[in-house]
Each structure stands twice: as C-alpha cells, then as structure tokens.
Amino acid sequence: MLTQRFGRKIRLPSTAALKHQLLMLMLEDEIRAIPADGTFKPDTSAALGKLRRLKRTNARSAGLNA
C-alpha cells in the first residue's frame, strides 16, 4: 500500500515543556485575579504547587537532586 505524506513534519515541544507553559499561564491568571489591595499567597496557589512538583519530578528523572 502506498501512503503519501504532504508537507513537513511539525516539531512539538516535550510534554514537560507543555505542562510548564500551561502552569505558568495558570499562575499568571491567579496573580491577575488578586485584588489591588490583596497579596499573593503562595501556600494556596494550585499552579505554584504543581510547578514545584513538576520541577521535582523532572529533576528526579534527570538524576539531579531537587
């Protein structure tokens, strides 16, 4: 069976890079949602916690200490 492919291959970023970009967008949204007189509380930020976990997971898989 003959299959044809049109165009060039599209290079995609790694899954970790995609997760990082999405979590950064979530964090930006959380920061923008803070009222003008409010303060950012990193302990309650879901996106910041997930970013920290992603960093630890990537460091472990690379054999680094996190």
Q: Residue ranges per domain, the chain?
A: 15-33+43-61
Question: What pTM, to 2 d.p., does this model score?
Answer: 0.66
How far is Cα 11 from Cα 20, in angstroms, rounded to an integer?
17
Nearest to 32 by CA among 19, 17, 47, 20: 47
Contact (CB, 8 A) for 30 and 10: no
pLDDT value of residue 37:
85
The parts of the chain modelled with pLDDT lower than 50 are: 66
Sign for the CA dihedral angle at 28, 34, 35, 40 comes to: negative
